[in-house]
C-alpha cells in the first residue's frame, strides 16, 4: 500500500513539474525546443558462435538472458539544425564501430552531428574484442551487426519523432550509493536530469546522468543484462510515463555502486535494489529542483591525437581486434590514436562527450594520487568550464570512442617488468589496474586540451 501511494505521489509531482517546466519555457520569447526518441532491442542471433561477456574475465560465455540490451536515441534541436545522441547498452565501442553506425545511418535531414556512446554495462557481450580467449577477437560478428542495426534504427526513429517541447535541468545528491575502489576517494554522486516535456501532452523524455560503472551484477555474473541503467530507465517509464535514457558520467577510478546484499548469490537482487534506489532519487527531482533552459544549442567537436604507449592495445590493433583510428606519432609504439571530444551546450548547461572513462578528479579537481609525482596534472574540466561562465558541466563518458581509463598523470604507475601487461601496487598497497587499460599517461592532458579548445570555440574571448 505504501509503495502505491509513493507511486501516485511521484506521478503527480512529475505532472506538476512538467506543467511548471513548460510554463516557464513558454514565457521565453520564441521558445522552440524539439526532441524525439527512439528505442530498439538488440536481438542476439543464433549463428553458432559464442557470446563472451565483457568487462571482467577472458573467455566466459553468456549463459542466459536477464534482459536484452538496447539502443536508445534522442534527437535535439532548438528550432534549427539538430543533433542525435545514441546510447547503446554495451561495455564500450571503439571509433571504428561508431563510424560504421554513422555511415549506415547516412544523411539525416537537418542533423549536424551523430554521437554514439556506451552505457558501459558489464553484463553485455564483448563489443571491443578484448574478452574472448586471450589473443583472439571476442566480438561476435552477428551480434555486432544487430547492434549497429539497432543503433541506426533507434536514431532514425528519434529523428522522425521530432516534437516541440520544453527542457528543464535538475539534480539530486545521492547518498551512500557509490564507492571509489582506488585512492583517493573522489566521485560525483550527483544524479543529473535533463527533462523534456512535450507540448502536445504526450510522453516526455528524461536524460539521466550518473557517474558509476554499470556493474551492480558484479564479476561472477554470466547473464545478459543492461544492469542498473536498464532497471532505472524502465522504472522511470513505469512511474512517470516518460521515456528515459542513461548516460555514464566520470566513472574512472574505479567508481561503482556499492553492494546492498550478499554477493554473488544476490547479484540480481543487488541490481534491482540499485536501480530502484536511483529511481527514487530521480523521482525526487521536483519542480522546485528544476530550472528551464532557453532554446539555445551549440556544439563543437575537436579531433585530437593521443600517444599510444600501451603495447597490449597496439598488439590488439595489429591483430585487427581494436579498430580505433591510428596515425604515426611520438610514443612508445610509434603510433597515436586519433579520437574526438565534443561539447554540446544546451542553453548554459554543457555536456562533455568524453571518449573514455575519465577519473572524477580530472573533472572536479583534486585530491590526486601521487604514485608518480614527477608528472603534472592538467587543469580540471570544471575549472575550465567555469572560466567560460559555465557552472553546470555534465559528463557523457565512453562517447564516440574508447580510450580506456583516463588517469591523472601524477598517479600513473606501471609494472616495471611487464608494463601494460601486468598490474602493479604502489607504496600504499593501492592496485594500479586501470593503467593496463589506458592508452598512456598523456591521455589526460590531451582530453583537457581538447575540452579547453572546444570551450574556447564556443566562448571566444574578446580581443
| Predicted pLDDT of residue 17 | 41
Give the lowest-confidence range in 30-39, 188-197, 384-393. Answer: 30-39
pLDDT over threshold 80, residue 419: yes
Sequence-ordered strand ranges (E) for 123-282: 163-173, 178-180, 190-198, 205-210, 223-224, 243-248, 255-257
For residues 230 and 224, is the Cβ–Cβ distance under 8 A? no
Distances (CA, A) of 349 to 168, 210, 238, 354, 368: 10, 16, 28, 16, 26
pLDDT over threshold 70, residue 263: yes
pLDDT over threshold 70, residue 3: no
pLDDT band at 430 (very low <50, low <70, confident <90, very high): very high
DSSP 65-118: ESS--EEEEEEEESSSSEEEEEEESSS---HHHHHHHHHHH-PPTTEEEEEEEE
CA atoms within 13 A on the CB side of 383: 11
pLDDT band at 2 (very low <50, low <70, confident <90, very high): very low
CA atoms within 13 A on the CB side of 339: 31
pLDDT over threshold 60, residue 390: yes
pLDDT digits (tens, 9 = 90+) for 10-60: 444 444 444 444 434 344 445 499 999 999 999 998 788 999 999 999 999
Other Cβ atoms less than 10 A from the Cβ of 57: the count is: 10
What value does the mean pLDDT take over residues 405-428? 96
R_g of the chain, CA atoms, integer Å: 21
pLDDT over threshold 80, residue 273: yes
DSSP 3-state assignment of 49?
Answer: coil
pLDDT over threshold 90, residue 463: no
- Tell me the C-alpha distance between 373 and 383, whole Å: 21
pLDDT digits (tens, 9 = 90+) for 316-329: 998 889 999 999 99
What value does the mean pLDDT take over residues 125-131? 97
Amino acid at each position: 500500500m505504501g509503495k502505491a501511494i509513493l507511486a501516485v505521489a511521484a506521478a503527480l509531482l512529475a505532472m506538476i513539474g512538467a506543467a511548471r517546466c513548460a510554463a516557464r519555457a513558454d514565457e521565453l520569447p520564441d521558445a522552440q525546443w524539439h526532441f524525439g526518441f527512439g528505442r530498439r532491442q538488440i536481438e542476439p542471433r543464433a549463428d553458432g558462435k559464442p557470446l563472451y561477456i565483457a568487462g571482467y574475465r577472458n573467455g566466459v560465455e553468456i549463459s542466459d538472458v536477464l534482459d536484452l540490451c538496447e539502443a536508445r536515441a534522442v534527437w535535439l534541436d532548438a528550432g534549427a539544425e539538430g543533433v542525435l545522441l545514441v546510447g547503446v547498452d554495451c561495455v564500450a565501442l571503439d571509433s571504428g564501430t561508431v563510424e560504421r553506425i554513422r555511415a549506415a545511418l547516412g544523411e539525416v535531414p537537418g542533423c549536424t552531428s551523430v554521437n554514439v556512446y556506451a552505457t558501459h554495462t558489464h553484463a553485455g557481450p564483448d563489443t571491443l574484442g578484448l574478452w574472448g580467449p586471450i589473443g583472439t577477437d571476442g566480438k561476435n560478428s552477428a551480434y555486432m551487426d544487430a547492434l549497429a542495426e539497432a543503433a541506426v534504427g533507434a536514431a532514425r526513429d528519434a529523428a522522425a519523432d521530432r516534437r516541440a517541447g520544453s527542457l528543464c535541468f535538475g539534480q539530486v545528491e545521492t547518498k551512500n550509493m557509490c564507492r571509489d575502489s582506488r585512492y583517493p576517494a573522489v566521485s560525483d554522486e550527483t544524479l543529473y536530469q535533463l527533462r523534456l516535456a512535450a507540448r502536445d501532452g504526450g510522453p516526455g523524455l528524461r536524460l539521466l546522468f550518473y557517474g558509476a560503472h554499470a556493474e551492480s551484477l558484479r564479476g561472477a555474473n554470466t547473464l545478459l543484462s543492461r544492469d542498473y541503467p536498464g532497471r532505472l530507465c524502465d522504472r522511470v517509464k513505469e512511474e512517470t510515463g516518460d521515456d528515459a535514457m542513461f548516460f555514464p558520467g566520470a566513472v574512472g577510478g574505479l567508481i561503482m555502486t556499492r553492494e546492498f546484499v550478499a554477493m554473488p548469490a544476490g547479484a540480481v537482487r543487488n541490481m534491482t535494489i540499485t536501480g530502484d534506489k536511483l529511481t527514487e532519487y530521480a523521482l525526487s527531482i521536483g519542480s522546485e529542483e528544476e530550472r528551464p533552459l532557453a532554446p539555445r544549442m551549440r556544439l563543437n567537436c575537436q579531433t585530437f591525437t593521443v600517444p599510444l604507449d600501451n603495447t597490449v592495445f597496439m598488439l590488439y590493433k595489429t591483430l585487427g581486434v581494436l579498430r580505433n583510428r591510428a596515425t604515426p606519432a611520438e610514443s612508445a609504439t610509434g603510433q597515436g590514436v586519433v579520437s574526438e571530444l565534443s561539447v554540446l551546450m544546451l542553453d548554459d548547461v554543457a555536456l562533455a562527450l568524453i571518449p573514455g572513462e575519465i577519473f572524477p578528479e580530472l573533472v572536479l579537481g583534486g585530491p590526486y594520487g601521487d604514485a608518480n609525482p614527477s608528472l603534472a596534472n592538467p587543469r580540471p574540466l570544471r575549472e575550465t568550464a567555469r572560466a567560460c561562465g559555465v557552472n553546470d558541466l555534465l559528463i557523457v563518458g565512453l562517447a564516440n570512442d574508447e580510450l580506456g581509463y583516463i588517469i591523472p598523470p601524477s598517479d600513473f604507475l606501471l609494472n616495471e617488468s611487464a608494463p601494460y601487461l601486468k598490474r602493479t601496487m604502489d607504496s600504499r598497497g593501492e592496485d594500479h589496474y586501470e593503467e593496463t587499460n589506458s592508452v598512456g599517461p598523456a591521455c589526460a592532458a590531451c582530453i583537457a586540451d581538447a575540452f579547453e579548445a572546444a570551450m574556447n570555440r564556443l566562448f571566444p574571448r574578446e580581443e
